[in-house]
Amino acid sequence: MSDYQAPLEDMNFVINRLLDLPNFALAIGNEDASEDLLQAVLSEADKLASQVWSPINATGDQQGVKLEEQGVKPADGFKNAYQEYAQGGWSSLYFDEQYGGQGLPFSFSMPVAEMMNAANMSLGLCPMLTAGATEAICAHGSDTLKDIYLPKMISGEWTGTMNLTEPHAGTDLAVIKTTATPDGDRFRIKGQKIFITWGDHDMTDNIVHLVLAKLPNAPDGVKGISLFLVPKFIVNADGSLGERNDAYAINVEHKMGIHASPTCVMSYGDNGGAVGYLIGQPHQGLSAMFTMMNNERLVVGLQGVGLSDRAYQGALEYARERVQCAAPGTKQRGAIIHHPDVRRMLMTMRSLTEAGRAVAYATAAQIDLSQKAQNADDRGLAHKRVGLLTPIAKGWITETSQEVTSLGVQIHGGMGFIEETGAAQHQRDARILTIYEGTTGIQALDLVGRKTLFDQGAAMADLVQQMRDDLDLHGDSISSRRLWLLSEAVDGLESSYKMLLNEAPDDVNLAGSISFDLLMLSGYVCGGWQMMRSAALVATHESDVFKANKLATVDYYLDHVLPRFEYHRRSIVSGNESVMAIAANDL
């Protein structure tokens, strides 16, 4: 089983060169966001990830979690590992200095989150959910709630969760039954929530649950949902912890992967009602929760990058060590890394991982610009780009992580099917990524609906134009054949979304039938765009080895991965006739 080492050189390259850190820092007005600081942050984060979090990943997977009378008991070593993370200030990187944050760009947190999730995704889910809950409180909480909860959450002293769905609801939040009854200046929450990541544990003194519920006489459907803050322990006026709130984990799910992350069934109000506090306006809970969910979706995409990289590292080490058969052109038995088919699999893993990293980090930079750009027009443009890229980053990267982690098992051969090598855990853990925070289907529907049809393709048109501008600027960094193919792929993206705009208004099933293919097509083209930019910007890199390897990886992506766009384009052109041809009762 290989140890994890963060790909620091590529992480630094993507932020320093691909995102153009000096000009990016000027654009968001952050003088502290320097190359030296970034390198220091990533170097220290690598130590925590590789030396503290990674060594307990496999043991946590094997041990899992237990629900005891006192609550959920995490796997051995997790409490200390989390506390080292919190004490190191890692949970505070990009939050407001007013509440104890460090005020760095959100983009700086991306490689840190990638490292932690690659090293130990089960543990990484805890600060990920906490960050999302913190963002929701920052955006929608009252000043009182901010003053009480944000310093503790930003410091990592308390963790956070989000409570959306219920046993009968699934994705259809319109039918949730959890209620919130007014009780003076607070509310009594009653109901049951499922799939609550890190819903209970003893790693911190308090847990801050964000819970969707309905007020009395609320409108039907999603327009009647409100958002409430429900702490595990009530906080006294002086900031100390008071009585235990009526919020308990009553079960932990037994899952395919992420065994060391407690996925809880939470019960609120079995003994009179859990005390909760309204966040934002009544009946606006879903929009408030989406403040949390949108960034979470990008970080889930980043989890796909992290697990893909971890799987690649393990497969690469095994391929270098496993001696079996003579490679073409040789007579002696040697390491399997010399076999062309193994190289094909490794290069597929490597190129998809690096393309995914570039797309994810580029999306994070747009989030920073949407919040911190110096003028309103730039913020508005970045906001639209974030909306468009988020479902692509979440959906495409997590789908390709299924392929990459599966290839990791394949390269190990029969040993990959045996748990001791660790390859199987990466594939099992990755399987949840296309499901939580909105399935791939939901991301695809978001892309075709709210992000394309709703604005008549304006954001897509802007993205396509940006790609063409960059092709003109950097196209000479790749061969003419590869430039032609990438231009064809951009044209294919444009023709596909225009077909959606033209035909969807007259065909109720078209958007849903082609949405997945449009999402995957968009992902492969975005990956090709960023890889082409990488080829241009790596030219001045100090390391000849890194430069050569990056150029070879770009070439492989453009030669062997990007052509997949044509499969998805042809599927889109085929429409929905055969998709819907068999009656539902006859399938």
C-alpha distance from residue 137 to each of 104, 142, 173, 224, 340 (Å): 19, 8, 21, 20, 52
Radius of gyration of the chain (CA): 24
Mean local confidence (pLDDT), 99-127: 97
- How many residues are listed for the chain in this entry? 587
Instruction: Note whether residue 489 is domain-resident.
Output: yes
Percentage above 90 pLDDT, the chain: 94
Instruction: Note whether residue 390 is domain-resident.
Output: no
Q: Is residue 530's pLDDT more than 80? A: yes
Instruction: Note whether residue 555 is domain-resident.
Output: yes
Q: Is residue 326's pLDDT more than 90? A: no
Considering 284, 314, 340, which residue would you say is the last residue of a domain?
284
Structural domain that includes position 573? 440-586
* More confident: 83 or 331: 83
Mean local confidence (pLDDT), 93-97: 95
Mean local confidence (pLDDT), 93-103: 96
Looking at the annotation, which residues are catalytic? 437
Instruction: Note whether residue 176 is domain-resident.
Output: yes
What gap in Å lies between CA 328 and CA 323, rounded to an integer? 14
Assess contact for 252 and 72: CB atoms under 8 A: yes
Q: Is residue 200's pLDDT more than 90? A: yes
Assess contact for 380 and 367: CB atoms under 8 A: no
CA 265 to chain centre: 23
Mean local confidence (pLDDT), 262-274: 95
Mean local confidence (pLDDT), 284-308: 90
* More confident: 55 or 170: 55
Of 50-64, 133-147, 325-339, least confident by mean pLDDT is: 325-339
Q: What are 153's two structure tokens? A: 């959450």
Task: Give the confidence band of 1 by pLDDT, cuts at 50, 70, 90.
Answer: low
Strand partners, 228: 211, 278
Q: What are 586's two structure tokens? A: 């006859």
- For residue 260, the domain's CATH number is 2.40.110.20
Instruction: Note whether residue 479 is domain-resident.
Output: yes
Which tens digit of pLDDT belongs to each residue from 128-170? 999 999 999 999 999 999 999 999 999 999 999 999 999 998 8
Q: What are 27's two structure tokens? A: 């654009």
Average pLDDT score over the chain: 96
Whole-number pLDDT of residue 587: 93
Other C-beta atoms within 10 Å of 487: how many? 14
Considering 284, 314, 335, which residue would you say is the last residue of a domain?
284
Task: Give the confidence band of 78 by pLDDT, cuts at 50, 70, 90.
Answer: very high
Strand pairing class (241-244; 233-235): antiparallel
- φ, ψ dihedrals at 166, nearest 5°: -135, 165
Which tens digit of pLDDT belongs to each residue from 553-567? 999 999 999 999 999
Instruction: Note whether residue 577 is domain-resident.
Output: yes
Q: What is the DSSP letter of 442?
A: H
Strand pairing class (233-235; 333-335): unpaired
Task: Give the confidence band of 110 by pLDDT, cuts at 50, 70, 90.
Answer: very high
What gap in Å lies between CA 466 and CA 381, rounded to an integer? 12
Q: How many domains does the chain have?
A: 2
Sequential DSSP letters for 114-161: HHHHHHHHHHHHHHHHHHHHHHHHHHHS-HHHHHHHHHHHHHTSEEEE
Instruction: Note whether residue 496 is domain-resident.
Output: yes
Whole-number pLDDT of residue 331: 85
Task: Give the confidence band of 172 by pLDDT, cuts at 50, 70, 90.
Answer: confident
Whole-number pLDDT of residue 481: 97
Mean local confidence (pLDDT), 396-416: 97
Task: Give the confidence band of 289 by pLDDT, cuts at 50, 70, 90.
Answer: confident
What gap in Å lies between CA 127 and CA 353, rounded to an integer? 23
Mean local confidence (pLDDT), 248-258: 97
Q: Is residue 224's pLDDT more than 80? A: yes
Q: Is residue 581's pLDDT more than 70? A: yes
The three-class DSSP label of residue 182 is: strand
Containing H/E element for 426?
helix 423-430
Task: Give the confidence band of 499 by pLDDT, cuts at 50, 70, 90.
Answer: very high
Q: What are 448's two structure tokens? A: 């075709």
Q: Is residue 427's pLDDT more than 70? A: yes
Task: Give the confidence band of 294 by pLDDT, cuts at 50, 70, 90.
Answer: confident
Q: Is residue 2's pLDDT more than 80? A: no
Task: Give the confidence band of 293 by pLDDT, cuts at 50, 70, 90.
Answer: confident
The three-class DSSP label of residue 68 is: strand
Furthest-apart CA atoms within the chain: distance in Å: 83
Question: Shortest CA distance to 353 belongs to which of 14, 121, 2?
Answer: 14
Considering 238, 263, 284, which residue would you say is the last residue of a domain?
284
Other C-beta atoms within 10 Å of 247: how many? 25
C-alpha distance from residue 431 to each of 58, 171, 428 (Å): 17, 18, 5
C-alpha distance from residue 13 to each of 35, 163, 537, 543 (Å): 10, 37, 9, 11
Q: Is residue 3's pLDDT more than 90? A: no
Instruction: Note whether residue 458 is domain-resident.
Output: yes
Which tens digit of pLDDT belongs to each residue from 437-448? 999 999 999 999
Q: Three-class SS string for 444-469? A: HHHHHHHHHHCCCCHHHHHHHHHHHH
Strand pairing class (206-214; 158-163): parallel
Percentage above 70 pLDDT, the chain: 100
